[in-house]
Structure 1
Amino acid sequence: MATRRGGGSADSLDADLRGLDALQTETRTSRAWWRRLVDGALPPIVLLVLLVSAWQAYTVIAQPRPDLAPGPLDVAAALGQAWESGRLQLAVTTSLERGILGFLIAIAIGTPLGLLLAESRLLRRAFQPLLSGLQVLPSVAWVPAAIIWFGLTDATVYFVVLMGAVPSIANGLVAGIAQVPPQLRRVGTVLGASRWQLATTVVVPAALPGYLAGLRQGWAFSWRSLMAAEIIAFGGTIGFGLGSMLQQSRDLADLAGALGTILVILAIGVIIELLVFAPIERGLLRRRGLTGANA
């Protein structure tokens, strides 16, 4: 078989790489989408029902003070009042908009940064310790400085979100690229891939598991950073988000409202995981024929 060097087109390279990937992929029986949805959503729903039932049973049996230990019905009533007043819809919409937009900006910054560090050993040695330190640093530590720099504006919130998410995304991509087998790079070179084709068609797809882990961690950090920023940076021109709603409940000593807001924040995080990251991970595993693709 003749060896192609330098003249391979992008289409032929993609076809060859898909063929190599197919050699490692086991034949699996595909399941209906609704079956996968039920299998993924049913266990957490059952667990949630059990936890709420145990919570309600405790309030009925122990009968604690409602202001110190409100029951599920009290929390539901507080959320119902927030819904009727429109505060809950406004808070959820504002926080989701900030969280998603901030996360997308973090991807746009963290991805090329991760590629640059992965391909340059000198830059990686210089910057990766700093990125790791920023990843460990609690994002809430940036809030006071951000308020001084940007005032009580949305820029403060977005800055804190970016400082929480960008290091995780960049480090995840660097770690994923570091785990790419050298043989894949050699195969791409032999098949005629240019430097750009090698990076976009061979290295990045092979590094997707690590990159996905970085994205997942980046979203978790951005969501937590957003809540911390909204709780502390309250007032001014900053919109009313879930963190502001939580702070307002604390000021009013409304524990039922605070617990309800916490549950909404938790529910959004779980929904994002179940509807976005978990399906992407299952699809990625299924394409590679790895164990757990049908989990």
Structure 2
Amino acid sequence: MAHDTAAPERLDREIAGLDALELAAGARRNPLLRVWSALWPMVTAVGIALLAWQAVVWSGWKESYVLPGPADTLPVLWDQLTSGRFWEAVALTMQRALIGFAVSILAGVLVGALVSQSRILRRAFGSLITGLQTMPSIAWFPLAILLFQLSESAILFVVVLGATPSIANGLIAGVDYTPPILLRAGKVMGLRGANLYRHLIMPASLPSFVAGLKQGWAFAWRSLMAGELLVIIGDTTSLGVLLSQARELNATADMISYMIVILLIGIVIDQLFGVVDRAIRTRWGLDSD
């Protein structure tokens, strides 16, 4: 009998020792090393992209005034970054993006919550939501311009229609993959209706929901860029307007510099979503780092 009780105690001590070693190893890891381990893949990717770009220029495929190389474009990009007009354009574009994405989140959560909790609504609108998600956002602009003319509302309309289905589908998928044992446990604990959804289903579906938000942002950002190229409102200046003006003037270096900025904004937002995703994984004990 003594032997039977000693074995579990010894196993517990060994597991505790392994946990302590793992925590100590994580604590000893140099913060600078962590930053470098996160940055070097991106730095390498940028270097490869610049080298490939320069190789295309060296090949003579296009004249330098049609396709300038990094040495000609990067100084133009720096000039843009030091221009007040440029930052006014970035501010307007980001304002539109944040407003459109916020409205999309509200609409997506509402639609996803209703559809995920009703079999009738699922059968009626489930395929429609997926169909809207696959529809090219640029196809909405003729209708948007017809309904709202050349206005901020036309751009917002297309951004919301582009992002909302992805957010709704992310929430629906998260609800669908909530473990049944959690639902039974919640009901045993007295959770019903809105409380069950708020305190159990929503937290359980959070990883899938964040993935839906990330995809929704990608659709919103692409819809916004298309909208700013097609819907030019008065004398307002946005990234899309600057890009369109550079194209009309055949200022290829300026055009590429604006494209780089649009790409960098997308990368930064993706990194922010990555931070949220890692925080969720850490909280759930899924982060092995």
For the criterion TM > 0.5, the same-fold answer is: yes
- The answer for the alignment partner of 2:282 in structure 1 is 286
Relative distance call for 1:40 and 1:230 in structure 2 (3 A) is same
What is the aligned partner in structure 1 of residue 5 from structure 2?
A: none
Amino acid at match of 2:42: P
Residue among 201, 204, 211 paired with 1:203: 201
Instruction: Tell me, in whole angstroms, the C-alpha distance in 1 between the residues paired with 2:45 and 2:118.
Output: 47
Deviation at 1:294, TM superposition (A): 4.6
Counterpart in 1 of 2:43? 45
Q: Which has the higher contact order (CA 8 A, sep 6+)?
A: 1
- In the alignment, does 2:243 pair up with 1:246? yes
- Match for residue 152 of structure 2? 154
Query: Could you tell which deviates more after superposition, 26-35 or 73-82?
Result: 26-35
1:220-242 deviation per Cα after TM superposition (whole angstroms, max 9, x unaligned): 000000000000112436x3211
**Residue number among 257, 267, 272 corresponding to 2:269 in the alignment:** 272
1:140 and 2:129 are equivalent in the alignment: no
**Paired residue for 1:76, among 63, 74, 77?**
74
In structure 1, what is the equivalent of residue 8 of structure 2? Answer: none
CA 1:205/1:45 → structure 2, altered by over 3 Å: closer, same or farther? Answer: same
1:88-133, Cα deviation, whole Å (9 max, x unpaired): 2122111111111211111111112111110011011111111111
* Kept after mapping to 2: 8 A contact 1:99/1:223: yes
1:234 paired to 2:232: yes
CA contact (8 A) 1:67 1:255 kept: yes
- Letter of the 2:255 partner, please give it: A
1:172 touches 1:211 (CA, 8 Å); kept in 2?
Answer: yes
8 A Cα contact 1:103 1:161, kept in partner? yes
| Alignment partners' CA distance in 2, 1:220 and 1:133 | 17
Higher helix residue share: 2
Aligned match of 1:96 in 94, 97, 104? 94
Amino acid at match of 1:138: P
| Letter aligned with residue 269 of structure 2 | I
* Distance of 2:95 and 2:148 partners within structure 1: 19
Higher alpha-carbon deviation: 47-56 or 158-167: 47-56
Separation in 2 of the partners of 1:70 and 1:221?
29
TM-score, structure 1 length as denominator? 0.83
Distance 2:34 2:160 in 1: 33
- The residue type paired with residue 273 of structure 2 is F
Offset at residue 42 of structure 1 (A) = 2.7
Unpaired stretches in structure 2, ≥5 consecutive residues: 1-18
Cα distance per residue 1:254-277 (max 9 Å; x no partner): 111111111111110001111x11
Task: Confirm or deny: 8 A CA contact 1:171 1:214 kept in the other structure.
Answer: yes
Structure 1, unpaired ranges of 5+? 1-25
Match of 2:165 in 1: 167
Contact map agreement 1:79 1:88 (CA 8 A) in 2: no
Q: Distance in 2 between matches of 1:39 and 1:200?
A: 37
| Cα contact 2:152–2:233 (8 A) shared by 1 | no
Deviation at 1:160, TM superposition (A): 0.8
CA drift of 1:85 comes to: 4.4
Tell me if the contact between 2:243 and 2:258 (Cα under 8 Å) persists in the aligned partners. Answer: yes
1:221 — aligned with what? 219
Contact 2:150 2:233 in 1 (8 A): yes
Letter in 1 for 2:135: L
- Count, aligned residues: 266
Between the aligned residues of both structures, percent identity stands at 39
C-alpha RMSD of matched pairs (Å): 2.2
Q: 125-134 or 224-233: which moved more?
A: 125-134
Assess if the C-alpha contact under 8 Å between 1:110 and 1:170 holds in 2: yes
Instruction: Give the aligned residue type for 1:71.
Output: G
